[in-house]
A and B are shown apart, each in its own frame.
Chain A
Amino acid sequence: MIVRHLLAAMVAGLMAGIIMTVVQQARVVPLILQAEEYEGAPASPGDAHQHGASLPSSSIGSLVAQFSPISPAMAHEHEGEEESNVLFGLDRLTSTLGANIVAGGGFALLVAALSLLLGAPVTAANGWIWGACGWLAVQFLPAMGLPPELPGFPAADLAARQGWWMATVLASAIGLGLIAFRRELPFRLLGLLVILAPHVWGAPPAPSIETAVPAVIASEFAVAALGSALVMWLSLGVILGYLNDRFEKAA
């Protein structure tokens, strides 16, 4: 029985990852490729000599930089010259498909985990609500502080952003859970407060708002990224619910 629940989550994640890849290719990936053409270019002509100065210079910053996947040299290289470290030497589409499937599987397992621990089954009928809440907690609410970034955006220290992102996902999930599972008003208000807390605290601010990536590409990307993630989450929830129903009947 345990295996059956984990299997349902992994199959739902696999399918949601495949759906995500198709949706992504329509709009999100072309915009990433477009932005990469501007990545590493100076934000404004007079800015070129200052570029290095905007990098984090604190000791924590340089410590994090050692573990950061993007060395300053790599970040400044132009497209095509970049040395790729893609696992198994996969091409871009295949590696993204693989990563989407792993991400879908991970998210589906987390949804299944919450459903099992809370004793609230995901069904075909309520799957879209689980998916919508997952999208709110993992995509939309964190994006209020850290909007989807394109390559070439100025951004705060990576570890600081990851910390805020994880805290916000956790707080949003707890807050949504309180609102969804408790009928009493005080609990629901508490849920709302928990959701708002990381935003009152504030996301790590970008060191500058200057970027060579055109604003139109950036705003198109933000909407496309959130939209395609919504498709992934809704299909994840509904497929997981459908599989749970099927397994339930078979049992």
Chain B
Amino acid sequence: MAQTVTTTKTLSLNDRLVAGVLALVLGSFLIFGVGLAHSAALHDTAHDTRHSLGFPCH
């Protein structure tokens, strides 16, 4: 019992929300840059990654 409590209680609800929102924003930013941004430099750099991960391209 004590163990199940520690796994869920290591982060308080507040910390969990802060970490979750932070990860959501940072993750979306990275995915937008690598997969969706229309910048020519980003497109050319991530070209093969975009094609192989099925991002709409060209």
Contacts and interface: CB of A to CB of B under 8 A. Distances in A.
A113 B20 contact: yes
Q: Is the interface of A mostly helix, strand, loop or mixed?
A: helix
Interface in A179-200: none
Which of A69, A84, A86, A115 has the most CB atoms of chain B within a 10 A radius of its CB?
A69
Interface string B7-26: 11011000111111111101
Contact of A103 (B16, B20, B34): B34
Q: Is the interface of B mostly helix, strand, loop or mixed?
A: helix
A112 B23 contact: yes
Interface size class of A (residues with CB under 8 A): 35 or more
Given A9-B23, A149-B58, A106 B31 contact: yes
Contacts of A2: 11, 15, 18-19, 22
B16 A106 contact: no
Interface residues of B, number: 46
7 contacts: A85-B41, A92-B48, A96-B46, A96-B47, A103-B30, A116-B16, A143-B54
Interface of A: 1-2, 5-6, 9, 20, 24, 28-29, 32, 67-70, 75, 84-87, 90, 92, 95-96, 98-100, 102-103, 105-110, 112-117, 119, 121, 138-139, 142-143, 146-151, 153, 155, 158, 161-162, 164-166, 224-226, 228-229, 248, 251
Top 6 nearest A-B pairs (CB, nearest first) are A109-B27, A106-B30, A69-B43, A116-B20, A99-B46, A161-B56
